[in-house]
Amino acid sequence: MKKLQVYVLKEFFPPFLLSLGLFTFIMLLDKLLDLLDLIVSKGVPMRNVVEIFLLLLPSMIAVVIPMGVLAGILIAVGRLSGDLEITAMKASGASIYNIMFPLGLVAILIAGVLVVFNNSVLPDANHVARNLLLDIGTMRPTARIEPGMFVDEVENYRIFVQEKDDLTGKLIGVIIHTSTPGAPARTITAMQGTMEPVGANHLRLTLEDGQMHEKDRENGYRYASFSTYIIDIARSEELVRHDRNSRGDREMSAGQMNLFIDSLGARQTLLKDSITSVAQSFFVSLNDGSNPVATGDSTRMLRNTMTWLTGTSTDLILLNEQVSNLQRNIGKYNVEIHKKYSIPFACIVFVLLGVPLGLSSKNSNTGLAVTMSLIFILVYYFFLIAGEQLADRGRISAWAAMWSPNILLGTLGVYLTYRSMREGHPIPLPDFKELIKKFKRKRQRK
């Protein structure tokens, strides 16, 4: 039987690796267009684009490995079934267990490696990629300016444009917020403008038909219109790398996120204590003789009471909103923690699902196997993404959101596996009429 199990693994690994390459290439198509745009339209050096490409690979690998496991099993087992090798194995005394056992061990090993990968390699790769993109935005400001979005990667400037032409540098519908140290905050709007390099260290932004709004404590609010206004933005032809300490949820390991969740929980507890304190002081003050409800004439009493009640309720509303925001952040980080384990566990689920589906195949068509795997993969990730959205909104728990696809497809896989063990015969259902008769006879005897 050991030779049989080794033979099954030899059949599995080639289509598994082929599927990994295919699915990775499919996921890279969209990214490749963006990377080519960085080179052609925005002038980012090739070496930096290649580095971004390599840093994006880990996030794709974490997703495509379970996909490759399912496709590899469907192709391998489907070929064995189509060439009647499964029939020969059964004739020699082998069972579906002898096929699933080595594949299950490999899936467990892959899942374990993927968990370590998700908690060590992937967060650092995402962090370095984010820092690199921010640094490219500083070196090439036009590379980070996207139509319809506020971009604040340009130092001291927050820029929004409605339309942008990367080849000519023409901008339409420009809004700029400036925050230069030592100068008052300023908002500049313009109907149109152009962005062009000036020498090696500056980028010139020429705005036309616009307005300037400025507000500071000394001079108050000032407003002016202009037909042409020029802003010089410092830039560098060489990429200056910065190591930023702040990390998002996808740039942390599960341990780091648990520590962060603990800190958010501590802040949430303090806010809840503040809400309790404000509410208690509110009710205590109702019996206070100095309370505006109990003092003064009726007109003054009503006015002061409304002011007092409004201030207290506003404090409670603001505190409650802060608690809700913290709870949403806690849920968001919990989703990412469970995702680091639920996606690797899908490798095991896909063994339960893929082997019986492959056995039911009457031919060894690779295209059909890949298509079938894509269908189940789409179902899996549909439930995963939908669950993540619901969990981020607080509708369901993070655990249920991330593990429900595994539970759903795992249950289906267990059913199909058991059915395959029974050679395709349906699972016998209990005779409910006979059960009812037995129950009635027992009651009559009593």
Contact of 1 with 8, CB cutoff 8 Å: no
Nearest to residue 71, comparing CAs of 342, 353, 343, 340? 353
Clarify whether residues 324 and 419 are in a common domain: yes
Clarify whether residues 212 and 262 are in a common domain: no
Clarify whether residues 91 and 159 are in a common domain: no
Clarify whether residues 287 and 366 are in a common domain: yes
Clarify whether residues 308 and 211 are in a common domain: no
Which are the contacts of 75, defined by CB distance < 8 A and separation ≥ 6? Answer: 15, 19, 358, 366, 369, 370
User: How confident is the model at residue 341, as a pLDDT?
Assistant: 94
Q: Examine residue 194 and state whether it is found in any structural domain, yes or no.
A: yes
Q: What are phi and psi of 280, to 5 degrees?
A: -65, -45
Clarify whether residues 175 and 289 are in a common domain: no
Cα 19 from Cα 110, distance rounded (Å): 15
- Rounded to the nearest angstrom, the gap between the alpha carbon of residue 14 and the centroid of all alpha carbons in its chain is 30
Q: Which of 234, 263, 298 is the last residue of a domain?
A: 234
User: How confident is the model at residue 297, as a pLDDT?
Assistant: 46
Confirm whether pTM is higher than 0.85.
no
Clarify whether residues 66 and 112 are in a common domain: yes
Q: Examine residue 127 and state whether it is found in any structural domain, yes or no.
A: yes
Clarify whether residues 211 and 117 are in a common domain: no
Clarify whether residues 277 and 401 are in a common domain: yes
Clarify whether residues 87 and 120 are in a common domain: yes
Q: Rounded to whole angstroms, what are the CA distances from 413 to 104, 347, 409?
A: 13, 12, 6
Query: What range does the domain containing 333 cover?
Result: 1-140+255-446
Side-by-side strand order, sheet with 157-164: 157-164, 170-178, 185-198, 202-216, 220-234
Give the residue ranges of the chain where pLDDT is below 70: 1, 40-43, 137-144, 152-155, 166-167, 181-182, 197-202, 216-220, 234-244, 278-316, 361-367, 422-435, 437, 439-440, 443-446
* pLDDT tens digits, 96-111: 788 888 899 999 999 9
Cα 424 from Cα 410, distance rounded (Å): 18
Clarify whether residues 30 and 159 are in a common domain: no
User: How confident is the model at residue 406, as a pLDDT?
Assistant: 93
Clarify whether residues 126 and 198 are in a common domain: no
User: How confident is the model at residue 149, as a pLDDT?
Assistant: 78
* pLDDT tens digits, 386-418: 888 888 777 888 899 899 999 999 999 888 888
Query: Number of structural domains, the chain?
Result: 2
